[in-house]
Amino acid sequence: MAAWRRAIELSLTDADTAKLRSIAQSRTEPASRVERARILLAYREDPSFFAVGQALGLHHQTVQRCVERAVAEGPLAALDDRPRPGREPTITIEAKAWLVDLACRKAKDLGYPHELWTTRLLAWHAREHGPAEGHACLANLAQGTVCKILDQEDVKPHKVRYYLERRDPDFAEKMAKVLCIYRQVKILKKAAAVSKTKPSEQVAIVSYDEKPGIQAIATTAPDLPPDPGVYATFAREHEYKRHGTVSLLAGIDLVTGQVHALVKDRHRSREFIEFLKLLDAAYPARTAIKLILDNHSAHISKETRAWLADQPARRFEFTFTPKHGSWLNLIEGFFSKLARSVLRHIRVASKQELKDRLMAAMDHFNQHPVVHTWTYKLDKAA
């Protein structure tokens, strides 16, 4: 007579139970892990191999093996497959290292017209030159194997990630000055919130920059609207007509969120001075206007300095961002919002229409001003 199967005591902590429930409900976990998590949870409620197998549509021995392994190795360890011996790898560690080192060099340095590697080109090169380098195991190297080897080392030789080199020797000092201005903005906002009054008129802090090269592009045929059940998107003729470019000169008040803007054909010193005149008219005469801006030649030209010299003392004060430090300027976030919401896919009949629509966008943003706030490393300002 067969022996009676005794229930195995499976103890699960609250943390283990929560983790198992998360895995059992997951849509991204491997199916084997999800199934084993459900076995353990079901066995916790009803410690019977046969009952759990019937409920989940599994053989009772499958349930028993899973529970026994959970008791021996832990519930989470029991979710993974045990390592299998498999076939001995045919590609040696030295060959993999040679391939990864090769991927870390540019293809053009080895005489190819390509700037960077493609996995297909890298596999071909390894097949052609690997055996001569002492790696005969690469003679039949497949493209998919190249991808697996590179993934193991987290190397992506076909991609480029851009960075900004710090070329300003006074980068830290200039950054600290900009962050100090942002700290002043924070103080002004807090003071206005506590007193529940309008922001102080003693100082206005404006983040300024230009967005040049905005293209006035026209369509050569009307856009076709979506048709429910037929066409999900707008349809547009591939051909287009260029009407030139315009430059947006914009500054955002960091306390109120108000946007001041001009749209011009160019952004020389005279256009910058015109923007300064716009700010001069927008604020009371007793207000000190502080601008955060980059080192564009128009901001420091003789024409600009001559105009500033004729203004009242301390009316305008410039704080320059470091070279390659435009990310410190909050107006860049506003330009990103503009590009994603207004300029994306824009088509106009003329350059003047583009100017009008840009100014209409400024009016739209000013109806519900958004106060931009800098928080990153603000507490580290000098």
d(CA 230, CA 237): 18
Contacts of residue 104, Cβ cutoff 8 Å, sequence gap at least 6: 155, 157
CB 79 within 8 A of CB 70: no
Burial of 318 (0-12, 13-18, 19+ CB in 10 A): middle
N residues, the chain: 382
User: Could you read off the pLDDT of 171-222 as tens digits, one per residue?
Assistant: 889 998 999 999 999 888 888 777 766 777 789 999 999 999 999 999 999 9
Contacts of residue 214, Cβ cutoff 8 Å, sequence gap at least 6: 245, 246, 247, 248, 343, 354, 358
pLDDT of the residue at 5: 57
Amino acid present at 340? R
User: Could you read off the pLDDT of 100-112 as tens digits, one per residue?
Assistant: 999 999 999 999 9
What does the angle CA 110 – CA 112 – CA 114 come to, to the nearest 5 degrees? 120
d(CA 167, CA 325): 10
User: Could you read off the pLDDT of 328-361 as tens digits, one per residue?
Assistant: 999 999 999 999 999 999 999 999 999 999 999 9
State yes or no: pLDDT of 50 exceeds 60: yes
Q: What is the reported pTM?
A: 0.68
